[in-house]
A and B are shown apart, each in its own frame.
Chain A
Amino acid sequence: MYQYSDKDKQIVKNRTREFLSQVKRRIDGNLTEEEFKPLRLMNGLYLQLHAYMLRVAIPYGELSHIQLNKLAEISEKYDKGYGHFTTRQNIQFNWPKLEDVPKILNELADVEMHAIQTSGNCIRNISCDHLAGINNEEVEDPRPWCEIIRKWSTFHPEFSYLPRKFKIAVIASEKDRAAMKVHDIGLKLIKKRNETGFEVYVGGGQGRSPFIAKKINNFVKKRDLLNYLEAILSIYNEMGRRDNIYKARIKILINELGEEKLKSLIESKFKKFADKNLLLEEDEIKKIKNYFKLPINNPIKSSIPVKKNKEYNIWLNQNVIKHKLAGYSIIMVSLKHYNQPPGDATAEQMKKLSIIAKQYSHGEIRVTHEQNLVLPHIKNSDLFSVWNKLSALKLATPNIGLITDTICCPGMDYCALATARSIPISQKISQHFKDQSIQDKIGNIKIKISGCINACGHHHVGNIGILGLDRNGEESYQISLGGSADEKTSIGKIVGPSFSEKELIKAIQTIIETFEKNKKNNEDFLSVFNRVGIDPFKKDLYDKSNP
C-alpha cells in the first residue's frame, strides 16, 4: 500500500491549516457563502438537505485496517455511527457539524487521509480496478499509476478552477471493473511490442447527457503520461463551456468540437509544449511501484475448508474469487444486506472488519465502485473462520453481482438535489427478491438507482437503470434497460413512461419474467437483452391487450 512521505504529510497538514483559516474568515464574515463554497467543496464539504456532508477520499479505493478503524471512530464521534461508501470508492459522512470539520480533518491526517478534491470543479479521486494487482488478467498493476496521477492532480495550480468536475479512471486489463468509459478520462494499460503504455479515452460521463468515452490515442508512452494528461486538461480548461453547467463537462466539448478536432488540439499541445520536468523516468516509476508490492509473494499450499454448511457454500460460490497467487482468495464483502442502505457500513461493522483485515488480509481493505468492500488477500484455509466472522456482522450476504447487489445513490433521504428517494427503492427490491434460489435463478444482473438526473447511482449503465423523478410532486421512476459499465460499456435505453413507486416493483418483476421467458441456456440478463432487444420488454410492460 502507498505510504505517505514527509512531503505528503506536510501538504495534507498545510491544507488542514489553510481550511481552518478559511472557516475562520467565513465565520468572521470575510468570505461570503458563495466564495466559501468552492473552497469548502475542494475539501469535500457539501451542504446537504439536513446538514453538512463530508466526503473523505479513499485514493483508488484502497484502505489500511488502521484507516478503516479511524473512519469508524469518526463516524461514532462526529456522526451518527455509520458511513456511506460511494460509487467513486470514497466514503461520506452525512451529519458532521461545520465546527467539527477541521477536527475531523486533523484526525484523518493522523492516518494519512484527507478530503482533498473529493468535490468541486477539479480533478477528483482517481478510480481503479478493485482487483488491481491480485488478478491474472492485467498487464501490470494500475495502482502505481493512480498514485502518480493523484500526486500530479493534487492542488494543480492550473486545474483547480475547471469548468466542471473531472474524473479519471485507470484499468489494466480487458475486463473493466472501474467503469472506465464513463469517466472524463479513461486510461487502459496495454502492452505493445513489449512496451507498456496507455490507451486514452476521453469524454465519458453520465449525468443529464450520458456519453461513452472515445478513444483518442492508441498508445501514450508511460514517460509521457503526465504531459499528455496536462495537454488534455489545458485544452479543456481553456475551451470547456462555462456558460451552462449542464454543458460544461469534457464530454460536451468533444461532441461539439468533434473527436478529430479535439484530438488534434491535444496532440499539437502535447507535441509542442510537453514539459520535460513532467517526464516520468524509470527510477521514479519504480519507486512508486515499490509501495504497491503485494504483502504476499509466493503461491502457497492452502485449501478451502470443506463444510456441510449450506450458507457458507453459497457464500463461497458467490462472494469469493480466486487470487492470482494459488492458496489465496479474495473476499467480496457485501454492503448490500437486505436491511441496510446499499453502501452503508456501521461503526461496529467497520471496526470489526478492520480487525478481520488485520488478522487475515495483511491489513488491507478495498472499496469497489459498486459499493462493496474487498478483503484482498485471504489464505484459503481461513475462509471458513472469516465467513463466520463476517456473517455475524451481516457482511456476508451472498449476493455479489446478483439482483439485490444494487448500486444506489443517497437520493432524497440525504441529497439536496434529489427529485425522488432511491434508498427505499433498493430496499424494496432487496426484500422482493431476497430468496436465494430466486436470485440464483436470475443470475448476474446489475440494477442501478439514481435519485435524480445527475446519475450518481449510475442508472444509465445499469442492466436495469432506475431514475427517480418528480412528476407534479409525486415520485415516479423511469426505467432504462441494457446499460452496462464493464468492457462492453453501453447506455441503457428508456423503456417507456415512468412508474409510480407502487407500480415499480411489479414492473421490475415483469422485466425479470420477460427475461426468463426469453432466456436460452445460461444467458444472463444483458445477453438476453442484447439478443432480443427492448420490444418484448416494452410489450410485456405496457401492452394491456397482452394477457
Chain B
Amino acid sequence: MTKVILNKNKVLKNEYFFVDNLTNLTKSNSENLIVTLSQWLDNKNTLSKKKNIGIKLNSDESLSLIKEEISFFKIIQFNFLTFKDGRPFSEAKKLRVELQYTGEVRASGYILPDQYIFLLRCGFNSVEIESEKKKFWLECLKMDTGLYYQP
C-alpha cells in the first residue's frame, strides 16, 4: 500500500529512507535516514557522523534513552502500534515543551484520521498514512473549528 506524508492539508515529499539492515547502506542512501531505536543504539558512532538522521520510536518505546541526543535528529517519528496507545501524545508534548525540540515530529503506524487534530495539537507536524485514506484525514481536518478548551 502506498503511503503519503501529510502536513496539515499538504502532501509532503518523503525525503527519508528506511533500511532494514544498516550494512546495506550505499552511498546514495547513506544520508536522510530514519533509523529504528535499536539501530541507533547499536550504531551510534557511525550514525552520529552522518547528516539528516531521523529516529523512529514505536509507541511502547520511551524517549528517555535518547533524551541527551535529541537535538541531533532531524525528525522523530512515533510509530503507533495501535491507535489506542496514547503515549506518543504525551511524548510529543514532552519533546516540544520539556526538551525544546524544534525538528519535525511525525506520526505513523496504526492511527485514525479522527486523531489528526489531537496529534497536531500535541506538537506533531506530519503523519504518514495510506494514500487511499487521505480523503478521510482531510475531512477530519476540515471539521476542526479551532474551538478548544485547552490552551
Contact = CB atoms under 8 A, between A and B. Distances in A.
Given A39-B114, A161-B85, A237-B90, A277 B151 contact: yes
Interface string B77-100: 000000111110111011001100
Interface string A118-157: 0001000000000000000000000000000001101111
B121 interface: yes
Contacts of A152: 149-150
Contact of B151 (A25, A155, A242, A278): A278
Contacts of B147: 7, 10-11, 14
Given A39-B114, A121-B84, A161-B83, A156 B97 contact: no
A17 to B, nearest CB: 7
A152 B139 CA distance: 25
Interface in A241-281: 242, 272-273, 275, 277-278
A160 B84 contact: no
B101 to A, nearest CB: 14
Contacts of A174: none
- Of the listed residues A155, A162, A238, the one surrounded by the most CB atoms of chain B closer than 10 A to its CB is A238
Given A18-B143, A152-B150, A159-B86, A30 B117 contact: no
B122 interface: yes
A238 B91 contact: yes
Nearest to B59: A242
A94 B14 CA distance: 49
B145 interface: yes
A474 interface: no
A160 B118 contact: yes
Q: Chain A: interface secondary structure?
A: helix
Interface string B50-63: 00000000001010
Contact of A273 (B60, B86, B98, B115): B98
Contacts of A22: 114
A11 B148 CA distance: 8
A31 B84 CA distance: 14
A158 interface: yes
A266 B60 CA distance: 21
Contact of A157 (B83, B85, B122, B136): B122
A196 interface: no
B149 A154 contact: yes
A155 B149 contact: yes
Interface residues of A, number: 36
A35 interface: yes
A416 to B, nearest CB: 19
Given A21-B139, A158-B93, A272-B98, A237 B86 contact: yes
B66 interface: no
A152 to B, nearest CB: 6
Contacts of B112: 31, 35, 39
Interface string A225-247: 00000000010011000100000
B117 A157 contact: yes
Contacts of B143: 14, 17-18, 21
A242 B150 contact: no
Interface string A278-300: 10000000000000000000000
A210 B148 CA distance: 35
A38 interface: yes
Interface string A146-183: 00000110111111111100000000000000000000
B151 A275 contact: yes
Interface in A28-52: 30-31, 35, 38-39
B93 A234 contact: yes
Contacts of A154: 149
A234 B63 CA distance: 14
A158 B139 contact: no
A20 to B, nearest CB: 10
18 contacts: A10-B147, A11-B147, A17-B143, A18-B114, A157-B121, A157-B150, A158-B86, A158-B93, A159-B86, A160-B89, A161-B84, A234-B90, A237-B86, A237-B89, A238-B94, A242-B87, A275-B97, A278-B151
Q: Which 3 A-B pairs have CB atoms at the shortest separation, nearest pair first?
A: A161-B86, A277-B151, A157-B121
Given A17-B143, A237-B90, A238-B90, 19 more contacts: A7-B147, A18-B114, A22-B114, A30-B136, A35-B112, A39-B114, A155-B118, A155-B149, A156-B149, A157-B89, A157-B148, A158-B86, A159-B89, A161-B85, A161-B89, A242-B87, A272-B98, A277-B151, A278-B151
Interface of A: 7, 10-11, 14, 17-18, 21-22, 25, 30-31, 35, 38-39, 121, 151-152, 154-163, 234, 237-238, 242, 272-273, 275, 277-278
